Amino acid sequence: MRHQKNIYGHIALIVILYLALSTATSANANVTSVLGANTPSESSLTPIISIELPNATVQPQSEFIANINVNPNGLAVYAVQYELTYNISVLKPELQLKQAFLSEFGDTMVIVNKIDHTTGKISYAETLKGPGSVNESGTLASVHFTVIGESGDTSILNLSEVIIVNPDVIPYNPIEIVNASVTIANQPPAITTYYPYSQVTDFETASRTFSITANQPVDVTWAINGTVVQTNKSVIGASYTNITAVVGTWEVYAIVSNSAGSEKQTWLWTVSPLVVPTISIEPVGQFDVNITVNPKGLSVYAVQYELIYNTSVLRPESQEKRAFLGTCEDTLVVVNNISDGKLAYAETIKGPGAVKEPGTLTSIRFIPVGNRGDISNLNLSDVIIVNPAGMQYNPIEIINASVTLNNTPPVSALSSVHRINNAGLWTVCLSACESYDPNALLEPAAGNGTGSNITRIRWDFGDGQSEIREGDFDEICYVEHKYSSWNWLGGSHGHYEPFNASITVTDDGCPGLNDTSYLDIAVYMPGDTNGDGWVNIHDAVRAGKHFGESCARGVACSEHKWSNAEADGADLNNDGVVNIQDAVIIGANWGSTAW
């Protein structure tokens, strides 16, 4: 316990000393005076703290280690602290590591080890623990730096706030401080990136851009077949664009240079006579189109395009590969996407080969969704046609098209005859009879197959069950369905979750157009008239209140309508009458809950 208290006493003294003297200002000289008391017997001796570098010149983007060395000059050293400042635009310290100067002679404690990248300051403080001292030279700590500045930049490494104390916690004064500096070596310029990356092939009149990036500020000289065409002064990156390519083979080069040296990048540019391949949209029928390619004798290896259309007029149903580039075994379809307002397609030959004859690349089927008379332009964009060497043909002739609608989609309308329905043996009546086809309003005398008649309805009841009915609209516009269960969310304070039903009505056009409507269907447990999830006196009260009432009834279930919502809920079996049968359902399920 006595040894432990002694250790904590030294730690406390070092911490107090560090806080008391941390604001002292040290001169940026090789000999720095630090506030403290002289020890008469040691007054003629001066400890030295110095920065040791592997080299005063460093390479760009390199790493190096700076050692912080202490020479006690025969004096007894118990603890050391310092701050090291540097240029944050030139150097970046990665870490500061404790070394063996103090720890060779006993246990130590590192009080401060901090790197502040914002202010460019590194702090360190270390003390022995318990009895002991050091009087031999050694490395206190090492700082690992990364060089981040430019060629020619210099950073001074300056020690300040230095305190070296003896075992009696008395700081030595004066202390000799040996600082240092590093300078980044000048490097000859180098071209780090360039474009294009290989030999360049174009057709006459093409526009071609050459570009380079250097690793430092340079002057750039551009030349074609030895004739200077452009210069750029003191830049990192530069480009040259020739906007009127002439038939022939041209040597294009860029020379980057400064006082440290130069480097050259050369391209061989081949310009061929202009032959323009064609890609076109060819309508086939009213809503089908083919994308055709005419190479005009050129070798075609791959094709890509995007097709833009009007989403309020057309909806693409399919985009299928055709035989222009070859069979499925011979080619690879890289992209075949249909998104809102855009179709994308890309296909390439596999292995050696090329196509020179015209043909159909793809076929696209559209479904009309707009109004009669609407027009959608079909525009090709981002077209790329590539030869077997991977070079892109430029320019390309693009022939677009348009589509005019002659049909109008039907309008769907879904309703539930009853506001409230109950699961079990009792049917729910859904109606689509309010749906209509606008074409029938425009052409009342139109016959079958004209797109003026709704002839197909798909019912989706929201419980995983569905049904399709086809035929005369008056015969298929309503349906009866039994829900075997209900959806209850939560416990006694929960609620019913309705089933989301839908209908999709389709007319007799070619192709047929359709429209979809959705409706939430309220389905309660048997006997629950008010939707609280519990069959009790409240449900009996509603049945009693409306006992004997009935709603308008007709031949079809779609004609049963309740004008009173409470009576609708009390009609538990949906037969249009509140009577003893509904009371029996309440009694049979008395006390039951939905959760």
* Exposure string for 214-244, b = 16+ CB within 10 A, e = fewer: bbbebbbbbbbeeeeebebeeebebbbebee
Nearest C-alpha neighbor of 36 from the set 175, 178, 176, 177: 175
| The pLDDT value given to residue 4 | 34
Out of 184, 217, 245, a domain closes at: 184
| The pLDDT value given to residue 553 | 66
Band (558; pLDDT cuts 50, 70, 90):
low
User: What's 266's domain CATH number?
Assistant: 2.60.40.10
Residues 35 and 67 in one domain: yes
Out of 272, 305, 328, a domain closes at: 272
Calculate the alpha carbon distances from 300 to 279, 343, 344, 380, 384 in Å: 12, 22, 19, 18, 10
Residues 89 and 30 in one domain: yes
Give the CA angle between residues 113, 117, 120 to the nearest 5°. Answer: 90
Residue 575 lies in a domain: yes
| The pLDDT value given to residue 426 | 87
Question: Which residues lie below 8 Å from residue 92, measured CB to CB, with a gap of 6+?
Answer: 117, 145, 146, 147, 148
Residue 409 lies in a domain: no
Percent of the chain with pLDDT over 90: 72
Residues 210 and 252 in one domain: yes
Residues 329 and 435 in one domain: no
Pairwise pLDDT comparison (439 vs 523), residue with the higher score: 523
| DSSP assignment letter at 528 | -
Q: CA torsion sign, 303 to 308 to 313 to 317?
A: positive
Residues 139 and 56 in one domain: yes
Residues 349 and 266 in one domain: no
Out of 272, 294, 310, a domain closes at: 272
Give the phi and the psi of residue 366 in degrees, each rounded to 5.
-105, 150
469-490: per-residue pLDDT in tens? Answer: 999 998 999 899 999 999 999 9
Structure tokens at 201: 């092939």
Residue 595 lies in a domain: no
Mean pLDDT of 211-215: 96
User: What's 120's domain CATH number?
Assistant: 2.60.40.680
Nearest C-alpha neighbor of 511 from the set 398, 366, 370: 366
Residue 593 lies in a domain: no
Mean pLDDT of 564-577: 92
Question: Which residues lie below 8 Å from residue 345, measured CB to CB, with a gap of 6+?
Answer: 291, 304, 305, 306, 307, 319, 333, 335, 336, 337, 361, 362
Judge residue 187's burial from the number of C-beta atoms within 10 Å of its C-beta, 0-12 exposed, 13-18 middle, 19 or more buried: middle
| The pLDDT value given to residue 32 | 37
- Give the span between the Cα atoms of 515 and 276, in whole angstroms: 44
Band (199; pLDDT cuts 50, 70, 90):
confident
Calculate the alpha carbon distances from 581 to 68, 486, 568, 572 in Å: 98, 21, 14, 8
- Give the span between the Cα atoms of 283 and 399, in whole angstroms: 12
Q: CA torsion sign, 506 to 509 to 510 to 513?
A: negative
38-66: per-residue pLDDT in tens? Answer: 343 455 789 999 999 999 999 989 999 99
Is 96 within 8 Å of 115 (Cβ atoms)? yes
Residue 34 lies in a domain: yes
Mean pLDDT of 455-465: 95
Residues 177 and 256 in one domain: no
Query: Could you tell me how far CA 591 lies from the centroid of its own chain?
Result: 54
| The pLDDT value given to residue 551 | 87
Band (395; pLDDT cuts 50, 70, 90):
confident
| The pLDDT value given to residue 438 | 84
Pairwise pLDDT comparison (585 vs 36), residue with the higher score: 585
Mean pLDDT of 312-317: 92
Is 454 within 8 Å of 413 (Cβ atoms)? no
| The pLDDT value given to residue 12 | 42
Give the CA angle between residues 203, 206, 212 to the nearest 5°. Answer: 110
| The pLDDT value given to residue 30 | 32
Strand partners, 303: 347, 385
Nearest C-alpha neighbor of 282 from the set 293, 267, 269: 293
Residues 559 and 544 in one domain: yes
Pairwise pLDDT comparison (205 vs 193), residue with the higher score: 193
Residues 521 and 559 in one domain: yes
362-371: per-residue pLDDT in tens? Answer: 999 988 888 7
Band (443; pLDDT cuts 50, 70, 90):
low
* Exposure string for 355-377, b = 16+ CB within 10 A, e = fewer: beeebebbbbebbbbbebebebe
What does the radius of gyration of the chain's CA atoms come to, in whole angstroms? Answer: 44
Is it the case that residue 437 has pLDDT exceeding 90? no
Is it the case that residue 336 has pLDDT exceeding 80? yes
Q: What is the mean pLDDT of the chain?
A: 88
Residue 580 lies in a domain: yes
Domain residues for the domain of 228 are 191-272
Mean pLDDT of 75-94: 98
- Dihedral Cα 332, 338, 342, 346, nearest 10 deg: 0
Nearest C-alpha neighbor of 337 from the set 318, 356, 322: 318
6-21: per-residue pLDDT in tens? Answer: 333 334 444 444 433 4
- Dihedral Cα 55, 60, 63, 67, nearest 10 deg: 30
Residues 354 and 419 in one domain: no
- Dihedral Cα 489, 499, 525, 565, nearest 10 deg: 110
Residue 594 lies in a domain: no
- Total domain count, the chain: 4
- The neighbour count for residue 502, using CB atoms within 10 Å, is 17
3-state helix, strand, coil in the chain (%, to 5): 10, 50, 40
Is 387 within 8 Å of 354 (Cβ atoms)? yes
Structure tokens at 251: 């040597």
Q: Element (H or E) spanning 249, and its range?
A: strand 248-258
Mean pLDDT of 517-526: 95
Is the peptide bond preceding residue 395 cis, with omega within 30 degrees of 0? Answer: yes
Residue 38 lies in a domain: yes
Band (2; pLDDT cuts 50, 70, 90):
very low
Judge residue 350's burial from the number of C-beta atoms within 10 Å of its C-beta, 0-12 exposed, 13-18 middle, 19 or more buried: exposed
Is it the case that residue 373 has pLDDT exceeding 90? no
Residues 31 and 162 in one domain: yes
Residues 213 and 299 in one domain: no
- Give the span between the Cα atoms of 575 and 589, in whole angstroms: 19
Structure tokens at 463: 């419980």
162-177: per-residue pLDDT in tens? Answer: 999 999 999 999 999 9
